[in-house]
Amino acid sequence: MPEPFGLLAELTYRCPLACSYCSNPLELAAYDDELTTAQWQRVFTEAAELGVLQCHLSGGEPLLRRDLVDLVRTAAGLGMYTNLVTSAIGLSRSRAEGLRDAGLDHVQVSVQADEPATADRIAGIPAFERKLRAAAVVKELGWPLTVNVVLHRQNVDRVAEIIALVEDLDADRVELANTQYYGWAWRNRAALLPSREQLAGAEEVVRAARARLAGRMEIVHVLPDYYAEYPKPCMGGWAARQLTVAPNGDALPCPAAQTLPLPRASVRDQSLRAIWEDSPLFTAYRGTGWMRDPCRSCDRRETDFGGCRCQAFQLTGDAARTDPVCHLSPDHALVTDAVEAANAPAGRDEVLVPRPHRG
């Protein structure tokens, strides 16, 4: 039985932004009954006992939790490395100082683009300048700073300018991660999926930037699954290294797993250890015994574990099928058809549907 390395604590799905690529669930009302401070503190204690070393505090926007400082103090006191994943809206200097004093180790700030008009249009509110001010506070207080930029058709042509902005922010790391198509991103896939030409241009820019900035800033570039020959090993394997706890207490092997037709597991009803070791949700696709061909007989079965179960379900309606991203999948045409549509001139004028605000 593997021990989990990381816990993604999605403290709330409330968020001041309205990003059209948000991967949080579409039906957010089901998550309004959030775990209390004491319940989250118990989850953190059980996570540490289970072997978790990293606690990522996310959402939605975790800064909307008034008890965030107390939660950071608890996680840090248990010896876990704490990372705040935030839009930075609401990260005032006084709030940041409280988080630092509570033991927060790292801050990751999301940025939607490199200039105000585009960034604010994608975010759904005037947020760009506030994000830059908050990033400056992060550096002034001595934290390592990661900037996360979700890439898609609306901003991928500006990768060079985005990297220049991140340099100006003196970030230690930038994640240029292409959109994963769940939640609102799935609904907006036709308007978000980039073309081959766009991806080739971005790759060239990233390659040059990595050479220029080696030793100064780490650049992580995650290509779109849809353009890959083989799928990524989702989360390092199903329920192998990481777990997620949603705002309402649902425990998940990955952030999108609430979409699967499997029995739910909740920290309100069971301990984290019992869920990790024995729940049907966590054991359903652990390892390789569940696989069918072509995965079962593939020599990559312990490399990519058949790809993403949530993506397989999203595209085929069957979570046990080979991820259609894989070129060996019998359902691969579902992906190639979407890619061809993204590369057709008539398919490049789709309109984004924004995620509703839930502040």
Which residues are annotated as part of the binding site for [4Fe-4S] cluster? 15, 19, 22
Dihedral sign, Cα of residue 222, residue 225, residue 228, residue 231: positive
Peptide bond into 294 cis (omega under 30): yes
Q: How far is residue 269 from each of residues 13, 29, 107, 275, measured CA to CA in Å?
A: 21, 20, 31, 10
Question: CB neighbours (10 Å) of residue 214?
Answer: 10
Environment class of 269 (CB within 10 Å of its CB; exposed 0-12, middle 13-18, buried 19+) = exposed
Known binding-site residues equal: 15, 19, 22
Which of helix, strand or coil describes residue 144? Answer: coil
Environment class of 24 (CB within 10 Å of its CB; exposed 0-12, middle 13-18, buried 19+) = buried
Residues 51, 76: contact at Cβ < 8 Å?
no
